[in-house]
Structure 1
Amino acid sequence: MSITLADARVVTPAGVHDGWITIEDGRVTHIGRGHAPHGDGHGLAGRYVVPGFVDIHTHGGAGGSFPSGDPDEARRIAAFHAAHGTTTIMASLVTASLADIARATAALADLCDDGLLAGIHFEGPYIARSRCGAHDPALLREPSPGELADLLKAGRGHVRMLTIAPELPGGLDTIRAAASDGVIAALGHSDATYDQAIAGIEAGCTVATHLFNALPSLHHREPGPVAALLEDERVTVELINDGLHVHPAMLRLAARAAGTGRAVLITDAMAAAGMGDGAYRLGSMEVEVSGGAARLVEGGSIAGSTLTMDVAFRRTVREAGLPVADAAVMASLTPARVLGIDDRVGSIAVGKDADLVVLDDDLTVHRVMKRGAWVTSP
């Protein structure tokens, strides 16, 4: 089956052009400029077409939570975020007992086998107590390569990322072990100094978990991990652009310092995404959502977000002032590169999966396509 999307503003890493896209058997086969050579009723009236979003840090949505390990919840979460343009999603867990992490990992690995999820992310338990945020401090552990190896076995090769504080005893050895097993080591929830962060990077950390959040602030005499992460060309930095976690000026600063090739948009969404205010849970922690902001009932720490990637994308353009093409790279291509799947997804290119998001002039979602099939109703 062939579909041609005509009269579109096609967004590629090189920029935006008026043109058309032909899709056959779930893949992009032709990209053109100007008028399409033939019409098949899929005129987009000048709307933007951007690549499907790739979210490498998501805990839940639509009332469901990945840490529960419930397959039905996981499917509901993926469907909810797909309707908001996220056609590739990685499931993020939170700090829990080793048994609970292994159980959830094994269950989610089945959905990775099915292609629903792009992998599993361990956010904890190897994080700093002083920067644990919405993670249960009673369940934090010192990093251990042996423990990590046991957890990775439960994932059957689908654990793709580990957030870790490199300054903890055993931290550097565990980072090296993760990297040697093909797991992305992400520096986060850490009280590392500048030098300790550099040591973590040298050991193998290549991602910064939600830069600025749960990390010491930049200071001109004590630059801390943020400076080390921004200045090292090997590190990709995550940014939660919901208007609560990061000020637009800081997002611009990070995007300029790292470049769109090293800055990625994430949601860090939890179960309340797509739901109303009220009481929720993130792992073992009780969360209250008010005005769309999720915070722990005890202590008031920010507990993930209620963000979706379409909103993050729109805010990056409208609030932070970045070009549409740059926002698309941050929301799609760069995170796809992090996961090593940019040969299939992340940009609109011949031969890649037809994962596409059609946006109205105000950058709200009009329709979503995944592998050539419409996710939202025509």
Structure 2
Amino acid sequence: MKPPIARYDDPDRLTHLPADMLIQYCNCQILRGKTWVDADLWVENGRIVNPEPICYVRKRLPDLRIDCCGNFIAPGYIDVQINGGFGVDFSSNGDALPENISKVAMELVKFGVTSFCPTIVSSSPEFYKNALEKMRCFKRHPMGANCLGLHLEGPFINKQKKGAHAERHFVNGFSEDGNNLENVYGSDLSHVCYITMAPELPFAMPIIRRLTSSGIKISLGHSTASITVGEEAVINGASCITHLFNAMLPFHHRDPGLVGLLTSARIPKGRTLFFGVISDGVHTHDAALRIAHRTHPDGLILVTDAVALLGLGDGTHRLGDMNIEVKNKRALIAGTETITGSISPLDYCVRHFQKAARCDSCEALDCASLHPAQFLGIDDRKGQLGFNCDADFLILNRNLNVLSTYIEVQFNVSRFWLCTIEKNSAVYRVSYWPERGDVPDLKQSSCCG
């Protein structure tokens, strides 16, 4: 008996699916090894599985085959720098941080983001300690993207490159004994993925060694560091540069600063230096994107660095004590030309980057999935579609528009239907119609077999 077939965009099915269902995604191309491969994707218990032992040893057929209609399957996006969105600012209310993360997580899946690192900018010690304490109670929303841990961007940064950070919160260096790290953040950093700091601050190098030895990644940013200081930071364990070109010394032929690390001969052998890039068409010129990509493509990570205005649409919005005008993907202080932050989602950044860098789609997608996973050290389970990886993936069309988002196949968000929440060892698929005028032709399935 042949297994049942459903289209990926089928809006009419209201089906009860066992959580351990074996699903075969067919009629698609899969991103594997930096190329598109004609293959099926098999998923069971939230993991990508090898079909050979299933078919030839277990002698089992799939419980369901999903026709991807000739589209592409790529790993889910990972945004390692996002300040908020959809009216939420992660740095404004520590008490509500878990709830705010869940709110943003539910929205991000619509843009292909399956995992993210909420960013907290320079804040008071009281805010950090309260926020990190509240994170102990954080539980992932069953229909939202995974929160991988926090990114603390500050307050150990250089006031000369403060960007939009509040200078009153800055700490101008580390104490020789390193105790002021705990005075600022508190003693529990178990929910922190990485920290952005300026490596030229006093006693930064031993702090970098201490934090990286405990599993926390260090990124260099908001800095006036020379290339020599940057190299020393990398040798001591730093592994990333925060939003390249922004809030750092500009490239100079005598001292290229942190930008020069992309070609440094002092990067330890076997180590990859990563760097974030905001590819929204506003913060980084297309020529700069091409330079970064052609210089060090394997380290490039696409980030949004998005603020609370992400997803609110054009118009005038209130952000703190300012009126902000949003128009044509730009957020400006009302009546001025001052940019207040990025408002482009990661799927747009991927598409813009591919066009600007003139690279192939596989390279652009790796910059939003594989590379951030490698930076965080989780590429054994996320950021790629290898066997036993988490089933976090996207169905994309040839223009890299996100058609469906899957997170461990516990649920799927697509243009046509919102599918499944995990409940009592079962998966429920719930259909809804966001756009009645955009109904696909579902009369026939093109799935092979």
Deviation at 1:290, TM superposition (A): 2.8
Which residue of the other structure, out of 8, 11, 14, is the alignment partner of 2:34? 14
Which residue of the other structure, out of 254, 260, 276, is the alignment partner of 1:238? 276
* Other-structure match for 2:326: 290
* Other-structure match for 1:208: 241
Counterpart code for 1:248: D
Distance 1:290 1:5, change over 3 A: same
* Other-structure match for 1:88: 115
Deviation at 1:183, TM superposition (A): 1.4
> Residues 114-133 of structure 1, C-alpha deviation per residue, up to 9 Å, x if partnerless?
89410111101111111110
Deviation at 1:359, TM superposition (A): 0.9
CA distance in 2, matches of 1:125, 1:300: 27
> Residues 159-210 of structure 1, C-alpha deviation per residue, up to 9 Å, x if partnerless?
1211111112233333233223321111001011222222222332211001
Deviation at 1:155, TM superposition (A): 4.2
CA distance in 1, matches of 2:179, 2:139: 24
8 Å CA contact 2:128–2:186 kept in 1: the answer is no
> Residues 245-293 of structure 1, C-alpha deviation per residue, up to 9 Å, x if partnerless?
1122222221222222x11111111111111243444xx7857343232
8 Å CA contact 1:94–1:124 kept in 2: the answer is yes
State whether structure 2 residue 216 is matched by structure 1 residue 196.
no
Which residue of the other structure, out of 68, 90, 93, is the alignment partner of 1:44? 68
Counterpart code for 1:65: D
Distance 1:314 1:258, change over 3 A: same
State whether structure 2 residue 301 is matched by structure 1 residue 264.
yes
TM-score normalised by length of structure 2: 0.76
Query: Quick check: which one's helix share is greater?
Result: 1
Counterpart code for 2:72: Y
* Other-structure match for 1:105: 132
8 Å CA contact 2:371–2:383 kept in 1: the answer is yes
CA distance in 2, matches of 1:59, 1:289: 18
Distance 1:344 1:202, change over 3 A: same
How many residues in Structure 1 have an aligned counterpart in Structure 2? 371
State whether structure 2 residue 171 is matched by structure 1 residue 141.
yes
Distance 1:296 1:13, change over 3 A: farther
Distance 1:353 1:322, change over 3 A: same
8 Å CA contact 1:142–1:170 kept in 2: the answer is no
Counterpart code for 1:236: F
8 Å CA contact 2:279–2:304 kept in 1: the answer is yes
8 Å CA contact 1:164–1:186 kept in 2: the answer is yes
TM-score normalised by length of structure 1: 0.90
State whether structure 2 residue 383 is matched by structure 1 residue 346.
yes
> Residues 109-159 of structure 1, C-alpha deviation per residue, up to 9 Å, x if partnerless?
432788941011110111111111010112211232323235554545121
RMSD of aligned C-alpha atoms?
2.5
Q: Secondary structure at the match of 1:358?
A: strand
Which residue of the other structure, out of 23, 30, 49, is the alignment partner of 1:29? 49
Question: Which of the two has higher C-alpha Rg?
Answer: 2
CA distance in 2, matches of 1:287, 1:132: 22
* Other-structure match for 1:321: 358
Q: Secondary structure at the match of 1:50?
A: strand
**Percent identity (aligned):** 29
8 Å CA contact 2:194–2:218 kept in 1: the answer is yes
State whether structure 2 residue 153 is matched by structure 1 residue 123.
yes
State whether structure 2 residue 333 is matched by structure 1 residue 309.
no
Distance 1:352 1:9, change over 3 A: same
Deviation at 1:76, TM superposition (A): 0.9
Q: Secondary structure at the match of 1:130?
A: helix
CA distance in 2, matches of 1:92, 1:51: 22
Q: Secondary structure at the match of 2:155?
A: coil
> Residues 199-230 of structure 1, C-alpha deviation per residue, up to 9 Å, x if partnerless?
22233221100111111111222312210244
* Other-structure match for 2:18: none
Q: What are structure 2's unaligned runs of at least 5 residues?
A: 1-20, 53-60, 420-449
Kindly report which structure 2 residues correspond to 1:156-171, keeping only aligned pairs within 5 A, or say none.
156-171=189-204
Deviation at 1:38, TM superposition (A): 7.1
* Range that drifts further, 271-280 or 56-65: 271-280
Counterpart code for 2:378: I
Counterpart code for 2:34: A
Kindly report which structure 2 residues correspond to 1:276-287, keeping only aligned pairs within 5 A, or say none.
276=313, 277-281=315-319, 286=322
Distance 1:31 1:17, change over 3 A: farther
> Residues 5-63 of structure 1, C-alpha deviation per residue, up to 9 Å, x if partnerless?
1111211233002221111111111379xxxx879452111111110111111111111
